[in-house]
Amino acid sequence: MGIVLQYSEPAIDSLDRGVLKALRDNPRATMGEMAMAVGVSRTTFKARLDRLWDSGLIVGHETQLDLAALGLHVQAWVELNVHQGALAAIKEVLDGMPQVIEAFATTGGADVQCRIAARDTAHLQEMLLELSSCSSVTRTKSAVILSSLVSHRKVQALDLLDL
């Protein structure tokens, strides 16, 4: 008999969903404004928000920056093939590169996919050469991002829930 692992999704109800949508739709609103939008008191809204934080469903909030306005005009997806067992080493390398916006361990043709921001193509090439010279990396492949068709949208997953 093998080990059976069960995955338990956090239970959220329509009020939780309303709180999350209020945060998504107007994150700079006051607690009172969001409570009013959801149709509950400020105290109820805050209690639900605290519960969502405590349950681990909400794990953070962030400020999104316009990379081009910061002088980073080129973005690229970079695929890395790495030596077996070298994932921790490549994670350390990527953590040390502030130009790496995000990175994921993946299945398929590459072991790691990361998004890199650069000033220009020469800067991107420098980063690609730096990654290629890493002893853990066996191959790189890159694709320059021309434009964004769908923005990052974790919270929109709420719309997929069948409550």
- So what's the pLDDT on residue 4? 55
Kindly report the pTM of this predicted structure: 0.74
pLDDT value, residue 163: 42
Task: Report the SS3 class of residue 71.
Answer: coil
Q: Where are the beta strands (DSSP E) in the chain?
A: 74-82, 100-105, 112-118, 137-145
Q: Which residue segments constitute the domains of the chain, with CATH numbers given?
A: 14-62 (1.10.10.10), 68-145 (3.30.70.920)
Contacts of 108 (CB under 8 A, 6+ apart): none
2-17 pLDDT tens trace:
555 554 565 788 899 8
Contact between 33 and 25 under an 8 Å Cβ cutoff? The reply is: no
Return the DSSP state at 91: H
Task: Give the number of other Cβ atoms within 10 Å of residue 111's Cβ.
Answer: 22
Regions of the chain where pLDDT drops below 50: 1, 7, 163
